[in-house]
Amino acid sequence: MFTTLKKNIIRSIMLSTVLLSIGASLASFIVIAHSQYNHYKNAANDTIDQKITLSSFAFNNVMLSSRQLSENEAFLEAIDSDEFNPQIVPVLNTLKNSSFGILAATVYVVEGPTYSTFNVTNVVPYTQWLEYDPVNNLLMSESSSMLSIRTTHIAQIYNNVRYNDAFGMITYVVKLEREGNVVGLLFVDIAPTYVYQTYFNYDNHPRFQGTVSFMIGENRSHLLGSLAHQTHADYIDEALQNSNAVSSNGRYLMHAHTLHEEHQLITLIPMGPLYATLIRTGVLLLVLNVLIIAMSYFVAQWVERRIVTPLQRLNTRMQPSRHLLKRPE
């Protein structure tokens, strides 16, 4: 009788402890995981916003220098001719050297010559730009400038090296106007690799190493910071449709941000660091569960002794009384 009672007491305490411990651990893990995910997501979002802000300063510097040149009356007078003016190229070289990010600069004079910095050759003909919708729309609009991000209509050679169109090009285009008429266009090329390496490089980031960014251009084309990033390009469409969410395969946290008003920046943040944190949390909870269950076994034995031992003593003491109470035959 007492053996069965002992087993029932221990079994009841152990079962209750196991169920409560597992339930509490699961609830705790869900709450912790949700909190850590939100913290990770918010931290990534803040980091990307900071990098976009820093890149905006650089873009604004290039734009300011370009607009100042486009408003220089002496410069406008010098290009307002159908004859080649050798003084224009040094001015463009000075503009190029004003910022590390400027790859080259080109001036197209309407019904006139084309001027380029010394380091670029085989530039896109002006007639082809007239057939390119963003540039044509600029000429037809009241706007004085635009930022173009694209993978077509790119000069063939920069710095004596054939340029790979897969990297794309960022160009600030400014109308050159004189006396109310457009006399030309100024194209200032900004190297995408420079922008990626300077402002969107996460190689040394303490939390987001392995993060990859893509600048999205016209017709949803994307610019590469490295040829190795092409393998990540499959996530772009999914990121554009489901921003601020985890990719379908669970590998990346996808963010889509506005980049300089007109374009988008897609950022893929690896989920590995978050998963590693959750695994550590899960292991810690598992260890605590084992300790709690082990302790509950000793507690159950203590409770069993506190209950059963007095009953056994009482039963022992009652044995003579039972003998006396038996009826005589």
- What CATH number is given to the structural domain containing 173? 3.30.450.20
How high is the pLDDT of residue 311? 54
Mean pLDDT, rounded, for 137-149 = 92
Handedness of CA 239, 206, 57, 159 (dihedral sign): negative
pTM: 0.79
Residues 157 and 204 placed together within one structural domain of the fold: no
More confident residue, 155 or 206: 155
SS3 (DSSP) at 120: strand
How high is the pLDDT of residue 297? 67
- pLDDT above 80 for 30: yes
Q: What distance in Å separates the CA atoms of residue 212 and residue 48, rounded to the nearest whole number?
A: 11
Residues 73 and 180 placed together within one structural domain of the fold: yes
Q: What distance in Å separates the CA atoms of residue 274 and residue 37, rounded to the nearest whole number?
A: 7
Residue 166 lies in a domain: yes
Q: What distance in Å separates the CA atoms of residue 182 and residue 146, rounded to the nearest whole number?
A: 15
More confident residue, 20 or 150: 150
- pLDDT above 80 for 288: yes
Residues 171 and 212 placed together within one structural domain of the fold: no
Q: What distance in Å separates the CA atoms of residue 296 and residue 9, rounded to the nearest whole number?
A: 12
Residues 144 and 226 placed together within one structural domain of the fold: no
Residues 156 and 250 placed together within one structural domain of the fold: no
Nearest CA-CA partner of 151 in 165, 132, 163:
165
Residue 308 lies in a domain: no
Residue 298 lies in a domain: no
Burial of 10 (0-12, 13-18, 19+ CB in 10 A): middle
Provide the phi-psi class of 264: left if phi over 0, else alpha when psi is between -120 and 50, else beta: beta
Residue 236 lies in a domain: yes
More confident residue, 281 or 310: 281
How high is the pLDDT of residue 321? 56
Nearest CA-CA partner of 124 in 114, 137, 112:
114
Beta bridge partners of 187: 106, 173
| The Cα angle at residue 303 between residues 18 and 299, in degrees rounded to 5 | 45
Tens digits of residue pLDDT in 88-136:
999 999 999 988 789 999 999 998 999 999 999 999 999 999 999 999 9
How high is the pLDDT of residue 183? 92
Q: What distance in Å separates the CA atoms of residue 134 and residue 198, rounded to the nearest whole number?
A: 27
- pLDDT above 70 for 5: no
How high is the pLDDT of residue 66? 93
Residues 167 and 239 placed together within one structural domain of the fold: no
Beta bridge partners of 189: 104, 171
From 191, 208, 237, give the residue that closes a domain: 191
- pLDDT above 60 for 328: no
Mean pLDDT, rounded, for 181-200 = 93
From 171, 191, 211, give the residue that closes a domain: 191
Residues 175 and 266 placed together within one structural domain of the fold: no
**Range of the structural domain that residue 51 is part of:** 33-58+196-274
Residue 158 lies in a domain: yes
How high is the pLDDT of residue 128? 94
Total number of domains constituting the chain: 2
Residues 226 and 105 placed together within one structural domain of the fold: no
From 274, 305, 323, give the residue that closes a domain: 274
Residues 224 and 252 placed together within one structural domain of the fold: yes
Mean pLDDT taken over the chain: 85
Mean pLDDT, rounded, for 6-16 = 66
Q: What distance in Å separates the CA atoms of residue 282 and residue 270, rounded to the nearest whole number?
A: 20
Residues 72 and 187 placed together within one structural domain of the fold: yes
- pLDDT above 80 for 17: no
Kind and range of the H or E run holding 203 = none
The string of DSSP letters for 23-75 reads HHHHHHHHHHHHHHHHHHHHHHHHHHHHHHHHHHHHHHHHHHHHHHHHT-HHH
Residues 128 and 152 placed together within one structural domain of the fold: yes
Residue 169 lies in a domain: yes
Tens digits of residue pLDDT in 227-277:
778 888 889 889 988 888 899 999 999 999 988 777 899 999 999 999 999
Are the C-beta atoms of residues 100 and 108 closer than 8 Å to each other? no
Residue 294 lies in a domain: no
Residue 21 lies in a domain: no
Tens digits of residue pLDDT in 40-96:
999 999 999 999 999 988 888 999 999 999 999 999 999 988 889 999 999 999 999
Nearest CA-CA partner of 173 in 225, 240, 105, 111:
105
Q: How confident is the model at residue 22 (pLDDT cuts 50, 70, 90)?
A: confident
Residues 170 and 208 placed together within one structural domain of the fold: no
Structure tokens at 32: 């912790």
